């Protein structure tokens, strides 16, 4: 390629132009396509300019070429009979000697009156016969035949073809030089070291080029399972709650849920509290705060409350939310106070929560909580069990057991146990209950509105699904990124 490029540049330097790339390729014995390739590259750097040329010309077909080289069939038949001398040749002998050529050529010989039949013999009658066809074909080959009539005739006999030949005229471009200076793609350390970067030319950067496809990245198994849970919950008619904040006030995380201020979960050993300026919440809904304080201190709605001294300092402490139920509380409060009053709703969320726990093979101090709730009039425990059954059935857990439990904010409360067909054992898979009137009524929800709710971790089903035994292999700095990337999508 470099040779071809130099040949083109030298020709331009010497003659100012290459009038026809085709003639140039023939003269130099270079493949025409190679010249075109080099020219495109030179044109790109404005070393050259080009003009398109095209000409129609006649070429010989394979058969035409054969006639031009060996004579036309009629002439070869005539020659054979001439060569036999005497009083001509036997028809059969002629056929045997020439075969196909005889079949094609004998007819025209007769018609041209070069030969004639005499009984079984074929005899010479024409004198000074010339093989016009072969001569014309040779002329075509040399580009000398111009008679339209003759050319049309040869074309009809399928001896010639007309083709359009495209070529180009090459002239000097604005950046012409008689030697190609290679443009550098990158500025390298070596160029800087030996100081020659100033003399070099650099390729311009194509800012419109498509970037290389990004092959890195991949969804984490937790996100794969989350996508599937989200799909299932949406399918069941649940709307996703906005959980995109990790810091909550103790008020929303605990107090609004009727969790007493003296509850051990509110200890720094169980909860991460925020320090310094972020440690205290600035805004609480004051009306509602009063109602919450009142239910804690004095009770109401048939509850005796905690009879405690409700402390604002405790309520305003900021923390990393210990459950997404803090969001559920805010959503229910909104639902109670929206324009037009309460409307039935189904909500879910799947997001991070934080607990200050000792870490082991199955516990970290953060996990993802899947939370669901249904708020409607006159719901019963049967509705809760039915909803939970439907959800777990969709993730492949069909055998469920419920065990009475205690949560400060639900009554009744049930732990959910599922029989895992792959692990062949009953395991605790979640917690659930009906939110207490002490939580719902201060929000302003009508008396007949019941809220059924449940929560579970996303990590547990993910570990079972992907057969991960240690949570550190799933989450955190010890997790194998490649294995995570290659984990298949989750389907339940």
Q: Residues interacting with ligand PHE, by CB under 6 A?
A: 323, 325, 371, 407, 410, 431-433, 453-455
Q: Which residue's CB is nearer to ligand PHE, number 72 or number 256?
A: 256
Output phi, psi for 168, to 5 deg.
-135, 155
> φ and ψ at 123, to 5 degrees?
-125, 155
Most distant CA atoms of the chain, gap in Å: 145
Q: How far apart are CA 287 and CA 336, in angstroms?
A: 14
Q: Which CB, 121 or 389, lies closer to ligand PHE?
A: 389
In the bound state with ligand PHE, the residue whose beta carbon lies nearer, of 168 and 329, is 329
The phi and psi torsions of 278 (rounded to 5 degrees) equal: -80, 0
Alpha carbon of 219 to those of 225, 481, 484, 485: distances in Å?
Answer: 10, 10, 8, 6
165 or 401: whose CB is closer to ligand PHE? 401
Strands 89-90 and 115-118 turn out to be unpaired
Cα Rg of the chain (Å, integer): 47
**How near is the Cβ of 276 to ligand PHE at its closest, in Å?**
27
Least distance in angstroms from the C-beta of 478 to ligand PHE: 26
The nearer residue to ligand PHE, 407 or 484, going by C-beta atoms, is: 407
Give the nearer residue to ligand PHE in terms of CB position, either 154 or 452. 452
Q: Which residue is nearest to ligand PHE (CB)?
A: 455
Report residue 19: phi and psi, to 5°: -60, -35
Nearest distance from residue 215's CB to ligand PHE, in Å?
39
Shortest Cβ distance from residue 426 to ligand PHE (Å)? Answer: 18
Query: Taking each helix axis from N to C terminus, what angle separates 73-84 and 100-111, rounded to the nearest 10 degrees?
Result: 90
3-state secondary structure of 423: coil
| CB of residue 286 to ligand PHE, shortest distance in Å | 26
3-state DSSP assignment of residue 318: strand
Nearest distance, CB of residue 356 and ligand PHE, angstroms: 14
Give one word for 476, left, alpha or beta, with left for phi > 0 and alpha for psi -120 to 50.
left
Both tokens assigned to 213? 């496809």
**CA angle, residues 305, 308, 310, in degrees to nearest 5:** 100
Cβ-Cβ contacts under 8 Å for 110 (sequence gap 6 or more): 116, 117
| Minimal distance, residue 452 CB to ligand PHE, in Å | 8
- Asked if 281 contacts 316 with a C-beta cutoff of 8 angstroms, the reply is yes
Choice between 342 and 409, CB closer to ligand PHE: 409
Which pair of tokens denotes residue 252?
Answer: 């929303």
For the bound state, the minimum distance from the C-beta of residue 372 to ligand PHE, rounded and expressed in Å, comes to 8
Measured from the CB atom, the residue of 136 and 451 that comes closer to ligand PHE is 451
Closer of 25 and 259 to ligand PHE (Cβ): 259
β-bridge mates for residue 339, sequence order: none
> At its nearest, how many Å lie between ligand PHE and the CB of residue 287?
25
């Amino acid at each position: 390629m470099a040779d071809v490029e130099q040949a083109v540049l030298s020709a331009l330097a010497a003659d100012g132009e290459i009038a026809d790339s085709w003639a140039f390729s023939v003269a130099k014995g270079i493949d025409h396509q190679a010249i075109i390739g080099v020219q495109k590259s030179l044109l790109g750097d404005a070393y050259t300019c080009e003009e398109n040329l095209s000409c129609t010309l006649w070429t010989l077909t394979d058969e035409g070429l054969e006639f031009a080289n060996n004579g036309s069939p009629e002439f070869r038949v005539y020659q054979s009979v001439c060569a036999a001398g005497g009083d001509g040749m036997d028809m059969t002998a002629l056929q045997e000697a020439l075969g196909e050529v005889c079949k094609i050529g004998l007819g025209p010989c007769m018609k041209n009156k070069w030969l004639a039949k005499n009984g079984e013999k074929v005899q010479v009658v024409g004198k000074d016969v010339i093989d016009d066809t072969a001569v014309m074909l040779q002329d075509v080959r040399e580009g000398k035949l111009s008679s339209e009539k003759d050319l049309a005739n040869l074309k009809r006999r399928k001896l010639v073809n007309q083709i359009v030949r495209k070529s180009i005229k090459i002239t000097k471009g604005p950046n012409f030089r008689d030697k190609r200076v290679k443009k550098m793609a990158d500025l390298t350390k070596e160029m800087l070291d030996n100081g020659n970067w100033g003399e070099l030319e650099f390729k311009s950067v194509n800012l419109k080029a498509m970037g290389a496809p990004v092959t890195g990245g991949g969804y984490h198994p937790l996100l794969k399972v989350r996508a599937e849970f989200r799909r299932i919950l949406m399918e069941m008619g649940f709307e996703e709650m906005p959980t995109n904040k990790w810091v909550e006030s103790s008020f929303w995380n605990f107090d609004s849920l009727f969790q007493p201020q003296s509850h051990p979960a509110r200890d720094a050993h169980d909860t991460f509290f925020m320090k310094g300026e972020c440690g205290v919440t600035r805004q609480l809904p004051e009306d509602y705060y009063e109602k919450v304080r009142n239910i804690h201190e004095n009770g109401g709605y048939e509850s005796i409350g905690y009879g405690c001294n409700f402390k604002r300092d405790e309520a305003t402490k900021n923390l990393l939310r210990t459950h997404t139920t803090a969001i559920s509380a805010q959503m229910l409060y909104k639902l109670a106070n929206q324009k037009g009053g309460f409307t039935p709703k189904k909500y879910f969320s799947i997001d991070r929560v934080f607990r200050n726990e000792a870490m082991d093979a199955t516990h970290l101090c953060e996990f993802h909580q899947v939370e669901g709730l249904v708020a409607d009039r006159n719901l019963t425990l049967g509705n809760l069990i039915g909803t939970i059954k439907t959800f777990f059935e969709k993730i492949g857990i069909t055998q469920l057991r419920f065990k009475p439990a205690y949560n400060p904010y639900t009554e009744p409360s049930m732990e959910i146990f599922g029989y895992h067909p792959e692990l062949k054992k009953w395991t605790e898979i979640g917690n659930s209950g009906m939110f207490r009137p002490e939580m719902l009524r201060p929000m302003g929800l009508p008396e007949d509105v019941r809220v059924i709710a449940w929560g579970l971790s996303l990590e547990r089903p993910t570990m079972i699904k992907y057969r991960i035994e240690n949570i550190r292999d799933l989450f955190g700095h010890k997790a194998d990124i490649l294995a995570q990337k290659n984990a298949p999508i989750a389907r339940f």
